Amino acid sequence: MKDKKLKNIAGGHNACAGCGQLVAAQAVMRALEDHEVIIANATGCLEVTSTAYPQSSWRSPWIHSLFENAAAVASGVKSGLNKQGKRNIKVIVQGGDGGTFDIGLGLVSGMWERGDEVLYI
């Protein structure tokens, strides 16, 4: 098994002490520590505080997307992994400000309708 600490979010991020989003993201990463994961993160506080250019606090493959299209990006990543036969890699979306129930609802519902194996948070 891989070093479990490699799945967690590294220190040095710009989030406020005790930030709820970072605590939640860390809990998700701990729950998935036995799996390989790729994270699609919508624009929002979590993205801004954890990836201040030129660094990233994420210790897993991570991709930034716009507010509304994180679900579509994750669906594309999962589809590409499936095409390559890499079905054991989990794909996660961390929804951002307005990206879930506002401007991103159409793309989230499309992901659900297709039955994509993506964890949307």
Q: What is the pLDDT of residues 7-16, one digit of tens each?
A: 578 877 888 8
Nearest to 39 by CA among 97, 95, 91: 91
- Which pLDDT belongs to residue 13? 84
What mean pLDDT is predicted for residues 46-54?
A: 86
pTM value is: 0.85
Given a cut of 90, whether residue 85 has pLDDT beyond it is yes
Please, which pLDDT band fits residue 6 given cuts at 50, 70 and 90? low
Given a cut of 60, whether residue 1 has pLDDT beyond it is no
Residues 6+ apart with CB under 8 A from 42: 65, 66, 67, 68, 69, 70, 93, 94, 95, 96, 97, 99, 104
- Which pLDDT belongs to residue 33? 84
- Which pLDDT belongs to residue 61? 92
